[in-house]
């Protein structure tokens, strides 16, 4: 791992760069695939699935028989774990429901806000080296609570054209409407335009690699909304001399094993802790089944020594991590001061893995510094706020003149007339 001691502020931008390709490197490929799928539908989707996933599919949609077989294949122990996680996620997201907000802004003028579910949504579930069935829970459960009508799930197939049993089981217990065995750029394009098999949706959710992230951003050019830019996973741990080096190393490696383009950072005010964590990472890395994957990510990672808590917090807010773990004596300082982070984990006994699976918070979070402006997925991600208003005769008499004056000042005389014509009758 790379150890950096007391970096100067004017070097922070370079120091905190993510190990990702630029959009320009990927955008040309995404554009070509989108254009092909827009014109040729399922034929193009099948072509790219063969190219990228190495499988020639005869059917895109997972059958009821496949789902039933998958349900039988999942162990009772894992089913129980999924059910417990499901329960916690349901509790946390149900608690996010808000009631109708109504107020009389002036006598006779009543305004209110209500929320409505987004009717047609697409969920992208990464497959590949680690089929993330936990992401099914994180997306489908709040979608169900919100009341989304059509929930379409896309996930890449393996070389045999199959989907992981755990993904199919999770989709079944979470009320997914349709499971499509398509991944990557072609899945996002299919959800964007609609094909003979893949339904067109109004909004796309879910993390993915850099190609999926750019594809989601491309979808917005065609009128489809997305949850957020959510690319390769990242974690920043803030730890001081009170932290447990073994715990910190395990957290760093838990994110590093996601993929070679993941990034993990340790920021600390203690050089002895940094040395201890580096040794622990080397030790724990040796026994990981995904050692090769994690090792590549560790090469892109950094251990940063800073002078004090204030400097550490400034650096962390500049980085804007997807996941932020606080292992310090003065944890309140960081909890109160953090303004840019996707999800925060507080204390030595709060591993990031808890949020990934079962504590109840959502693990679909903004990466690549986007937590400066984006929230992670939550119940509101699946809903729209709609405003209503009702004005009585008395209300129009109270605000009519104001509207007329403002409309005339903007030169919009039809706007003014819409009020004036009513005031004449009053």
The token pair at 122 is 């697409």
List residues forming the annotated binding site for Zn(2+). 255, 258, 356, 415
pLDDT tens digits, one per residue of 249-305: 999 999 988 877 889 999 999 999 999 999 999 999 999 988 888 888 888 889 999
Q: Which of 234, 257, 323, 404 is catalytic?
A: 323
Confidence of residue 325 (pLDDT cuts 50, 70, 90): very high
Chain centroid offset of residue 370 CA: 10
pLDDT tens digits, one per residue of 220-255: 999 999 999 877 889 999 999 999 999 999 999 999
pLDDT, average across residues 85-96: 98
Summary mean pLDDT of the chain: 95
Domain ranges of the chain: 2-20+232-360, 23-99+117-228, 392-425
| 8 A C-beta contact, residue 371 and residue 341 | yes
Task: State how far the Cα of 162 lies from the Cα of 57, in Å rounded to an integer.
Answer: 10
- Do the domains spanning 2-20+232-360 and 23-99+117-228 agree at the CATH topology level? yes
pLDDT tens digits, one per residue of 397-410: 999 999 999 999 99
Task: State how far the Cα of 355 lies from the Cα of 85, in Å rounded to an integer.
Answer: 10
Q: Going along 25-149, which residue ranges are E strands?
A: 101-106, 109-117, 120-124
Burial tier of 403 (Cβ tally within 10 Å: 0-12, 13-18, 19+): middle
List residues forming the annotated binding site for NAD(+). 124, 186, 209
Q: Which CATH superfamily is domain 23-99+117-228 in?
A: Nitrogenase molybdenum iron protein domain (3.40.50.1980)
List residues forming the annotated binding site for substrate. 233, 255, 258, 323, 356, 410, 415
Q: Which CATH superfamily is domain 2-20+232-360 in?
A: Nitrogenase molybdenum iron protein domain (3.40.50.1980)
Check pLDDT > 70 for residue 20: no
pLDDT, average across residues 24-30: 87
The token pair at 316 is 């962390």
- pLDDT at position 81 is 98
- pLDDT at position 135 is 96
Which value, to the nearest 10 degrees, does the dihedral of the CA atoms of residues 24, 257, 208, 356 take? -140
104's CB contacts (< 8 A; 6+ apart) are 110, 111
Between 181 and 25, where is the model more confident? 181
Confidence of residue 412 (pLDDT cuts 50, 70, 90): very high
The 8-class DSSP code of residue 340 comes to S
List residues forming the annotated binding site. 124, 186, 209, 233, 255, 258, 323, 356, 410, 415
- Tell me whether residue 322 is one of the annotated catalytic residues: yes
- Tell me whether residue 323 is one of the annotated catalytic residues: yes
Q: Which of 322, 352, 363, 404 is catalytic?
A: 322
- pTM, whole model, 2 decimals? 0.93
The token pair at 332 is 């309140």
Confidence of residue 3 (pLDDT cuts 50, 70, 90): very high
Task: State how far the Cα of 213 lies from the Cα of 184, in Å rounded to an integer.
Answer: 9
φ and ψ at 405, to 5 degrees?
A: -65, -45
pLDDT tens digits, one per residue of 114-149: 999 999 999 999 986 678 899 999 999 999 999 999
């Amino acid at each position: 791992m790379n150890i950096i001691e007391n970096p100067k502020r004017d070097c922070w931008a370079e120091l905190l760069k993510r190990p990702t390709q630029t959009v320009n490197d990927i955008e040309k490929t995404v554009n070509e695939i989108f254009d092909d799928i827009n014109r040729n539908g399922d034929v193009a989707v099948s072509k790219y699935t063969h190219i990228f996933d190495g499988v020639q599919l005869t059917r895109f949609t997972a059958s009821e028989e496949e789902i039933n077989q998958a349900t039988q294949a999942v162990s009772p122990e894992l089913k129980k774990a999924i059910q417990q996680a499901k329960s916690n996620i349901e509790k946390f997201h149900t608690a996010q429901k808000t009631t109708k907000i109504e107020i009389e802004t002036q006598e006779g003028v009543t305004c209110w806000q209500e929320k409505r579910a987004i009717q047609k949504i697409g969920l992208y579930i990464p497959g590949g080296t680690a089929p993330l069935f936990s992401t099914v829970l994180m997306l489908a459960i709040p979608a169900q609570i919100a009341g989304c009508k059509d929930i379409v799930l896309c996930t890449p197939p393996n070389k045999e054209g199959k989907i992981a049993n755990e993904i199919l089981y999770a989709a079944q217990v979470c009320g997914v409407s349709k499971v499509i065995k398509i991944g990557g750029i072609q899945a996002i394009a299919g959800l964007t335009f609609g094909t003979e098999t893949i339904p067109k949706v109004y909004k796309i959710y879910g993390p993915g690699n850099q190609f999926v992230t750019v594809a989601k951003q491309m979808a917005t050019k065609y009128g489809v909304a997305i949850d957020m830019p959510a690319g390769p996973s990242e974690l920043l741990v803030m730890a001081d001399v009170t932290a447990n080096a073994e715990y910190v190393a395990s957290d760093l490696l838990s994110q590093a094993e996601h993929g070679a383009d993941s990034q993990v950072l340790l920021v600390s005010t203690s050089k002895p802790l940094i040395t201890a964590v580096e040794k622990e990472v080397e030790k724990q890395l040796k026994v990981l089944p995904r050692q090769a994957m994690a090792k590549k990510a560790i090469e892109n990672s950094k251990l940063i020594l800073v002078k004090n808590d204030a400097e550490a917090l400034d650096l962390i807010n500049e980085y804007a991590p997807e996941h932020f773990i606080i292992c310090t004596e003065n944890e309140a300082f960081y909890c109160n001061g953090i303004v840019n982070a996707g999800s925060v984990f507080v204390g030595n006994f709060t591993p990031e893995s808890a949020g990934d699976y079962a504590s109840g918070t959502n693990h679909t979070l903004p990466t690549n510094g986007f937590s400066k402006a984006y929230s992670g997925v939550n119940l509101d991600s699946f809903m729209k706020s709609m405003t209503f208003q009702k004005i009585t005769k008395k209300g129009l008499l109270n605000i009519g003149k104001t509207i007329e004056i403002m409309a005339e000042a903007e030169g919009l005389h039809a706007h003014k007339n819409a009020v004036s014509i009513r005031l004449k009758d009053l």
